[in-house]
Structure 1
Amino acid sequence: MAQNPKVPQELWASYVVEKLWKENPHLALCYDESSFVKGGSVVYIPQAGAKPATQKNRNVYPATATKRADTALVYALDVWTTDPSHLPLAEQLELSYQKTDSVLGDHVNTLIEAVGDELIYNWVRAFKPAVNGGVTADNLPANKKIPTSGAATAVNGDDGQTGTRKALHYRDIQKAQAMMNKDNVAKTERYAMIESYMYQQFLDSLSDNQMAAFQGSADLEKGIVGMFAGFKILDRSSVLAFTSAGTAVMPGEALAATDNLGCLFWQKNSVTKAMGDTEMFDDKGNPLYYGDIFSTLLKMGGRCRREDWKGVLVVVQAS
């Protein structure tokens, strides 16, 4: 059996990006700063300083000139790698299907899940390089968190929680709309990602007329299950979780009994992503392994684009 040809990097990168966007539609619903990556690993986001003051019927001259003090937010791209896979030559000869494709698919799906979860987390807990090395973290402030207000409902024990939490009600989403309006956030391109059980609670809170309007606004090809209160709604099996102290739980970390699930609300230009290198490493016919070795690498990062966190909200389960 002939050796499988080396996969061109440009084809591999396109394959990864296509899968990322399909499985994680929120990656396409944010500001893309991939072209601003510096040195392959860092992104700088300029932050405009204070606006000039105005004065009615000025009568004191000369006016005082001030220089606008601009700053910049900085974030680094995380480097995601998969553990190498060994495909023995004997299996390549014996199997009737193309196992190479299956192995590579496993690597892509692993990257997709990890990167999708991490980007959501980074939008509410921004990391930046510290002055003396290492990193520091900025947390979404308490005034950007909305507690659920529905009836007390038993939690899904599979997530590790215990007890009851107030259900997600459509009024909570309306409150998110009002808060963004008050912050003068653009009313277009607003999105909400809701955890699956909380999404069902939201549906249960709708009247028949509201339900009909919501379902009629769906765009399933883009992952949008409906539109409500100006937000295009996405349903996801997992979104966010917060400790009882209000800190976001890291993706993949087991939830404590008292942790609370959360849903994310954002305006497209208020959050960002940046993608760097996408690589597939393959060593065909390795003499030490008597077969082929594959592994993958992807650089990805993101955060809230504004230092004041406007345009990002979460609705968090309340006890």
Structure 2
Amino acid sequence: MDTTGEPRGRRKADNEAAGLDSGNDATDPATEAFVAHRNLLFTVAYEMLGSAADAEDVLQEAWLRWVKVDVGQVSDQRAYLVRITTRQALNRLRSMKRRRESYVGSWLPEPLLTTPDVAADVELSESVSMALMLVLETLTPTERAVFVLREAFGIGYDEIAAAVDKTPAAVHQIAHRARLHVEARRPRRAVTARQAEAALEAFRRALETRDLQGLLEVLAPDVVAISDGGGIKQATPRPIIGAGKVARFIVGGLTKNDVPLTVEPTVVNGSPALALHVDGELDGVIAMRVEDTRITGLYYVRNPQKLTHIESETPLTLR
């Protein structure tokens, strides 16, 4: 089962049957076009859903519709593929909203181990950052689709209107409303990659040594920590707010467990992160939000069903 209760086992076989496996040669025009835009379509679906498992299912559904199209009659294949992918993602997002009401504990996006080019692309890395993905969760499905297509991918209003079945005028209004909503909640003070890495390194050292004072020095006073166990692994049912509470929770939890802990730097969703191994087994991934050189958000994904995309890199693109 995937993170939203969907069957997972059929995906690889479905992709291979559809000729979408990366090891297959694309020979017919429909397959060539789909494979050429696959990374873009996956990125669109993932930004809309926050789930790689569901994004893969959306791509399969989009493929099944694409192969029924007379490709020779499509003047802009990229736009057409984005449109059908958006529609399928919207359908799934609406059903996911209902399913998440029964999700055990806090919900976090599924982290992706990303390629170096994602981290190097400031616009792309921000658009898939854990912090922004959480903000997008507060939008309605249509607002999220419009925001993602317009702000991340720069798609025109007419094209978005066709994808979400709205008029261009309505899309203008939705985009404006969504932009104001996101801007009010996204990080206000950008930091450089070096500053983010320095904060992560300070946090890592304090974490490995159970250094309470070291954690207090790198955590912002109003830091928010969210953990996602999905009812499978232990996690806090609600966010923890405040440097003192977060630091004591972290140190107390590690001391209580008293097990060998290894903390390894990694890059998740285009940003520095940490992979935690307990007794040699992956326990979870910590992504973070850094503002003014201090950590203002900690996002700890422990749900094992959400850790399947951190063993190998996932290519993402806005183009």
Greater RCO, CA 8 A, separation 6+: 1
Structure with greater helix percent: 2
Kindly name which structure, 1 or 2, has the bigger radius of gyration based on alpha carbons. 1
Decide: shared fold, TM above 0.5: no
TM-score normalised according to structure 2 size = 0.30
Structure with greater strand percent: 1
TM-score normalised according to structure 1 size = 0.30
